[in-house]
Amino acid sequence: MDQTMERAGNFLPRVDDNAANPNAVDRRVVTLTAPASAAAEQYRSLYYRLERMRELRPMKVVALTSAMPGEGKTVTSVNLAMAAARANPDRRILLVDADLRRGGVANTLGVRNKTGLAELLTGEVEVRDVVRRFNSTRLALIPAGATPEDPSQVLASPRMKQFLKAVREGFDEVYIDLPPTLPFADAAILGHQVDGVLMVIRANVTPGKTVHQAVEQLAGAPILGCVLNGAEVHATPYLKNYEKQK
């Protein structure tokens, strides 16, 4: 195996300076900016549903995609990974931005995107150069990096398979933010190499026909289910009363 990939789990990722500034974090990362909110609780619930699935079968690498751009897959990916890191401080959690066309993880978390997965897969850098540890959490992340000339070809390369093998060995849980499914082949390429795929759907926006088309394009991939994003979340009377009694 390429020596660049072999060292994935043999180092402590560096802390990005920008990540230490909470003001740089997108407010939609509610698991960090508003952990007591009803929205943050929904992300924690999603994470614990995945945990129950893991009791039935191994599921270390989970990817998230959407049918079309603008459905909230990146914010969902970040919140899910953050929920995992906060729920399990002893586990090694990795968030990977594999949307090499329009990577948004770095911007969402307020970290640098100078080098990332793209440069790693083209052999320009090593793993230790692109993995960052977010603030004081156990969440490590790999941003997308600069957009390559042919993202699909890069993601379909042997280096990507080596990378996935390396992170499986070096981390306990891996969450991958994929490009949208319908405009590009990227999600279909990687969907068959992960343990599970979540489809993010924008509430009251994404037509059912579009969702079905996206699922068909991922035929054969281990689709775990859909995540409804952007739905109105209100605290129930029970929750309100419970919070008053605490």
Instruction: Tell me, yes or no, whether 13 lies in a domain.
Output: yes
Sign of CA dihedral 81, 132, 186, 74: positive
Domain carrying residue 7:
3-231
Domain count along the chain: 1
- The model carries a pTM of 0.86
CB 113 within 8 A of CB 149: no
pLDDT 10s digits, 175-185: 999 999 999 99
Q: What is the pLDDT of residues 50-109, one digit of tens each?
A: 999 999 998 999 999 999 998 899 999 999 999 999 999 899 999 999 999 999 999 999
- Cα 182 from Cα 71, distance rounded (Å): 12
pLDDT at site 77? 97
| Mean pLDDT of the chain, nearest integer | 85
Residues of the chain with pLDDT under 50: 1-20, 22, 235-246
Residue 239 within a domain: no
Residue 244 lies in a domain: no
Identify the pLDDT of residue 173: 97
Q: What share of the chain is helix, strand, coil (3-state, %, to 5)?
A: 40, 15, 45
pLDDT at position 238: 41
Domain annotation covers residue 240: no
Residues β-bridged to residue 200: 66, 227
DSSP-derived 3-state class of residue 61? strand
- Residue 97 is assigned to a structural domain of this protein: yes
- Pairing relationship of beta strands 132-133 and 196-202 according to DSSP bridges: unpaired
32 in any annotated domain:
yes
Residue 109 sits in a domain whose CATH number is: 3.40.50.300
The answer as to whether 243 is a domain residue is no
